[in-house]
Amino acid sequence: MNANTSRQHPAEWDQDAQLLSQTARDLPTGRHQFHKERLMAQIHEQAQQVQREERTATATAPQKARRFRLPRPAITLPAMAAALSAVVIAGVVTVGGDGSGVRDSGVATGPALTTDVGTASTKGVPQLLDQISLAAAEGDHPTVKPGQYIYIESVLADTFVKTVNDKSSLASHELHRRQIWESPDGVKGWLIDPAVNDGPEGETLSLPDEQGNTPKAHLGSPSFDYLTKLTTDPDALLAKIYKETKGQGNTPDQQAFTTIGDLLAESYPPAELYPALFEAAAKIPGVVVVNDAVDAAGRHGVAVARLDDTSGQREEWIFDKKTHVYLGARNVQVKQIKEEGVLIKPGTVNFTMAIKNRAVVDGMKQAPSQAG
């Protein structure tokens, strides 16, 4: 589709968060989803211009980033964002003259994703997070050596607002496979994602970027080496998260929950850090349990979740009910809202993903099955 589309480049949710919240992460351009989409590129470009003027930054758009983060559905945006563009749910898609609803990459669109909302309860939250923490501590987390790469394979889809001839409606991008490689220091990487890449071979994420900058890793753009240096004390870790994400998101508590969720998704936290992340999450007010949640691969599990009262979306981290292994995540609309004239009903799945494989491999673009 020769179109402006909702699905952001992986970094642009981070960058938009910097603009919209008036606080800054390090401009991790290329970190969130779908950077080739022109509408979001325009938002990104304008956001960077504002940041350059306000903070005398030297970066220019577009840039490569440390790596492309998994997509993060948009939340209710401040007026500044609305002035840049109308971004709803995972964004807005403006379809080209043919009205095909198909991206340049060939990822097709279909009806909005829906699910049963499910019942959320605060009962059993500490116990579940304790079980997940213990399972994480006992899990296999191999050491990543210099020259090796972290490989993560996932499947994902999202719901967005599509506009054809000035008429908007909810639609979804089809479920598709995503593969990413990253060196321990975050400087070298590769992405294969049909919703992002211009061709099936994928594209490099290696730094420095086009301007010769090598951004430093941080909570919003972590490398494996960065994660190994984070404190494993849950209280200190949560305090760091609150401090470094101050002003981002709709509320401090929701942003802290989202930050931990991002670290669980497309990264490979060291064995020592995993339990600390869950123990920190247990200290965030408003965390609930959803007894039945389904990831993008159709696997049923139990979810640790939190409702964002501003956007009406519930962010869910989904775990296997028996092993408590992390399966994936999704964002479900719980409260009905109307954005840009489109009604977002409860049960709309704004974003869904499932981790299919996490491994350490010896070469760029090497799959685990090719190792050895």
Q: What is the pLDDT of residues 265-319, one digit of tens each?
A: 988 888 889 899 999 999 999 999 999 999 999 999 999 999 999 999 999 999 9
Mean pLDDT, rounded, for 209-229: 87
Reported as a pLDDT band with limits 50, 70 and 90, residue 250 is very high
Q: 340 near 323, Cβ under 8 Å?
A: no
239, burial (CB in 10 Å: exposed 0-12, middle 13-18, buried 19+): middle
Distances from the Cα of 95 to the Cα of 62, 63, 310, 341, angstroms: 22, 25, 28, 17
Rg of the Cα trace of the chain? 19
Of how many residues is the chain composed? Answer: 372
Reported as a pLDDT band with limits 50, 70 and 90, residue 370 is low
Distance CA 190, CA 227 (A): 20
Reported as a pLDDT band with limits 50, 70 and 90, residue 35 is very low
Q: Nearest 5°: phi and psi at 194?
A: -60, -20
Distance CA 94, CA 43 (A): 14
Q: 276 near 236, Cβ under 8 Å?
A: no
What six digits make up the tokens of 90?
């995972």
Mean pLDDT, rounded, for 196-205: 89
Distance CA 281, CA 192 (A): 31
SS3 103: coil
Q: Which of 20-29, 38-47, 81-90, 144-153 has the largest mean confidence?
A: 144-153
Q: What is the pLDDT of residue 82?
A: 29
pLDDT at 102 over 50: no
Distance CA 175, CA 255 (A): 26
Q: What is the pLDDT of residue 339?
A: 80
Among 178-182, 196-200, 256-260, 355-359, the minimum mean pLDDT is found in 196-200
Mean pLDDT, rounded, for 185-203: 91
Reported as a pLDDT band with limits 50, 70 and 90, residue 211 is confident
pLDDT higher for 11 or 248? 248
Pairing of the two strands 149-164 and 92-94: parallel
C-alpha neighbours within 13 Å on the C-beta side of residue 315: 27
C-alpha 70 chain-centroid distance: 4
pLDDT tens column, 119-157:
999 999 999 999 999 988 887 777 898 899 999 999 999
pLDDT at 32 over 70: no
Pairing of the two strands 149-164 and 300-308: unpaired
Q: What is the pLDDT of residue 53?
A: 38
Q: Which H or E run contains 182?
A: strand 167-182
pLDDT at 92 over 60: no
pLDDT at 251 over 80: yes
* pTM, rounded to two decimals: 0.75
pLDDT higher for 160 or 261? 261
pLDDT at 214 over 70: yes
Q: What is the pLDDT of residue 289?
A: 97
Distances from the Cα of 44 to the Cα of 28, 58, 123, angstroms: 11, 15, 41
Q: What is the pLDDT of residue 42?
A: 38
Mean pLDDT, rounded, for 83-100: 34
Distance CA 220, CA 214 (A): 15
Chain mean pLDDT for the chain: 76
In the numeric block, the tokens 């090719």 are attached to 370
Query: Angle 273-281/234-244 helices, nearest 10 degrees?
Result: 70
Reported as a pLDDT band with limits 50, 70 and 90, residue 90 is very low
Q: What is the pLDDT of residue 163?
A: 86
Q: What is the pLDDT of residue 73?
A: 53
Helices (H), the chain: 12-21, 38-55, 79-84, 125-138, 224-228, 234-244, 252-265, 273-281
Among 88-102, 276-290, 356-370, the minimum mean pLDDT is found in 88-102
Distance CA 349, CA 32 (A): 18
Mean pLDDT, rounded, for 256-263: 96
Q: What is the pLDDT of residue 196?
A: 83
Reported as a pLDDT band with limits 50, 70 and 90, residue 213 is confident
